[in-house]
Amino acid sequence: MELATFIKGLITEGKVSVKGVLISFPEEDLFETKKILREYYEEDILEMPGTAPSFSEEAAIWAAEYFYRVVQLTIIRDAGEEKIKEQLKPFAGEINAAAMYSADLIFRHLPSLIDLVKGFAPADVLL
């Protein structure tokens, strides 16, 4: 449950760990991650004034995998630009309020990651 553990740690503690090699996520891990993301969404919308956008499972799981890969590629320094492009694909689904809000559940943690990457190498291709 690599991705599920990663997302749970990110959400609850703001701390994560990743494998030092690129891996794929089994279906059971993706299923558990989707459950965690939906629960996080349900908690997050309680603070929302008015009506929140609906939950986009597709966008939320894409953002979770994307963020995991960025963290991995931050520590795998020999990946190269081609491997980075291969691993960090743009969102392929419909971009609407639900997709943006659902991806933001994870991407709101990007500023901390960007600061970390800048500390390693200000001209890093990941930035």
Percentage of residues of the chain with pLDDT beyond 70: 90
Question: For 16-72, how does the pLDDT look when each residue is reduced to its tens digit (9 = 90+)?
Answer: 888 888 889 999 999 999 999 999 999 999 988 889 999 999 999 999 999 999 888
Position 127 confidence tier, pLDDT thresholds 50, 70, 90:
low
Q: Which helix (H) or strand (E) holds 32?
A: helix 27-44
Where do the domains of the chain lie?
Answer: 2-11+24-120
Percentage of residues of the chain with pLDDT beyond 90: 58
Q: What is the 3-state secondary structure (H, E, C) of 62-113?
A: HHHHHHHHHHHHHHCCCCHHHHHHHHCCCCCCCCCHHHHHHHHHHHCCHHHH
